[in-house]
């Protein structure tokens, strides 16, 4: 059995075990399949239950949930799917598991650029793909994504796999802005500027800067907050203190952002409760919880970022709709393989 099928089977077993204790059709419940780790969303779900009295049941898996829901079909207990990355949000449509979210509350709370044009998903928070730069070895205070191809960075860049959703999203945005031919030349140059083969998660890139293995790295903004407040692993606070965030392209089109979001399931057994949950997640109160606990950027107008996030600098987000960027994700993935990005420099 391949890894994907194993992951799906694991989600199947987990879902079966969890929901056997709480029938999906029971009143006052909503069943959530989540790619987001439970500790990240639990404060929101607790607030929702306190406000509405509706119980939340959560199944978490890092992969395979969309395929699981598609396989369950009309018998799926899932009411909503919570996930990160525009690829997974858009992928729910491709799998045929999404239903239109028809709510004036949602359309009022969330600007159009953070909603699917057909209502098949709604963004809940954004995060920027930024540059972590060594405080000791990088003097400049501004940068562009295009500049990552400059030979001055040769042997100085770290990043995670080119096939990770976060990297694919950035490359897709570059294709959207510059076309495939120019983006491929750029990606080859970035590959040759890498300090090592792509590896690890975003925090690992900051650790590499701290260790002197590279000087700059690509990463999502909220990881800085997670490291700065990590009392269980205090060494991560030292990693974070060794870098500062640079927001790419702040002086022109703005930094690439991605979304966390929610999808209403086509066969949701508790549709009314699912809509109540989605509406709550777009509310001012819920967006404040997101901002304070997850160090993400609220997408509901009028909700401020946390003081910690504000201290990193001002984000000017790229105004290109993510639904347009998502069109180039397949081309981005193919490009990563074509240039052998994950083989690292001197390929």
Query: What sign does the dihedral 309-205-254-293 (CA atoms) show?
Result: negative
Residue 193 sits in the same domain as residue 334: yes
Residue range 89-136, pLDDT digits in tens? 988 988 999 999 999 999 999 998 889 989 999 999 999 999 999 999
CB of 154 closer than 8 Å to CB of 192: yes
Identify whether residues 133 and 226 lie together within a single domain: yes
Question: To the nearest whole number, what is the mean pLDDT of the chain?
Answer: 90
Tell whether pTM > 0.75: yes
300 and 160 in one domain?
Answer: no
Q: Binding residue per annotation — 290? A: no
Note whether 66 and 117 are same-domain residues: yes
Q: How many structural domains are present in the chain?
A: 2
What Å distances lie between residue 153 and 15, 189, 195, CA to CA? 47, 10, 9
Measured distance CA(259)–CA(123) in Å, rounded: 6
181 and 62 part of one domain: no
CA distance 170 to 292: 26
What does the alpha-carbon distance between residue 303 and residue 318 come to, in Å, rounded to a whole number?
Answer: 19
> Which residues form the domain of 88?
3-125+257-305
In a domain, 312, yes or no: no
pLDDT beyond 80 at 22: no
Each residue's pLDDT tens digit, 254-268:
999 999 999 999 999
C-alpha to C-alpha distance for 139 and 133, rounded to whole angstroms: 9
Burial call 243-258: b when 16+ CB within 10 Å, e when fewer: bbbbbbbbeebbbbbb
pLDDT digit string, tens, across residues 175-225: 999 999 999 999 999 999 999 999 999 999 999 999 999 999 999 999 999
pLDDT at 347: 58
In the block, which residue shows the tokens 């897709």?
A: 172
In this structure, what CATH number is given to the domain that contains residue 235? 3.40.190.10
* Alpha-carbon gap, residue 186 to 164, rounded angstroms: 18
Q: What is the pLDDT of residues 53-94, one digit of tens each?
A: 999 999 998 889 999 999 999 999 999 999 988 888 988 988
Q: Is 222 annotated as a binding residue?
A: yes
Cα–Cα distance, 3 to 320 (Å, whole number):
34
Q: Taking Cα atoms as reference points, which of 119, 110, 121, 126 lies closest to residue 280?
A: 110
pLDDT for 319 equals 87
């Amino acid at each position: 059995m391949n890894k994907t099928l194993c992951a799906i089977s694991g989600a199947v077993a987990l879902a079966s075990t969890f929901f056997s204790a709480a029938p999906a059709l029971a009143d006052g419940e909503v069943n959530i399949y989540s790619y987001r780790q439970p500790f990240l969303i639990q404060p929101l779900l607790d607030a929702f239950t306190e406000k509405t009295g509706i119980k939340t049941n959560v199944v978490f898996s890092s992969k395979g949930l969309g395929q699981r829901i598609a396989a369950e079909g009309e018998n799926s207990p899932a009411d909503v799917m919570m996930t990160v990355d525009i690829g997974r949000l858009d992928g729910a449509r491709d799998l045929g598991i999404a239903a239109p979210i028809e709510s004036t509350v949602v359309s009022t709370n969330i600007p159009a650029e953070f909603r699917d044009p057909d209502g098949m998903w709604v963004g809940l928070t954004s995060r920027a793909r930024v540059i972590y730069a060594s405080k000791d070895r990088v003097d400049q205070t501004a940068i562009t994504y295009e500049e990552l191809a400059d030979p001055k960075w040769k042997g100085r860049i770290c990043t995670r796999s080119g096939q990770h959703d976060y990297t694919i999203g950035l490359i897709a945005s570059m294709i959207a802005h510059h076309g495939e031919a120019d983006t491929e030349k750029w990606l080859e140059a970035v590959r040759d500027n890498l300090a090592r083969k792509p590896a690890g998660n975003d925090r690992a890139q900051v650790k590499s800067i701290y260790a002197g293995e590279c000087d700059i790295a690509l990463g999502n903004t909220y990881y800085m907050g997670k490291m700065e407040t990590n009392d269980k692993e205090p060494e991560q606070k030292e990693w974070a203190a060794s870098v500062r965030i640079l927001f790419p392209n702040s002086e022109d089109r703005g930094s690439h952002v991605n979304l966390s979001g929610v999808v209403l399931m086509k066969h949701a057994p508790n549709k009314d409760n699912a809509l109540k949950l989605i509406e709550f997640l777009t509310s001012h109160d819920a967006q404040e919880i997101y901002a304070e606990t997850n160090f993400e950027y609220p997408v509901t107008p009028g909700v401020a970022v946390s003081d910690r996030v504000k201290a990193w600098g001002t984000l000017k987000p790229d105004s290109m709709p993510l639904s347009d960027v998502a069109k180039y994700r397949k081309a981005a993935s193919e490009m990563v393989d074509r240039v052998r990005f994950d083989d690292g420099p001197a390929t």
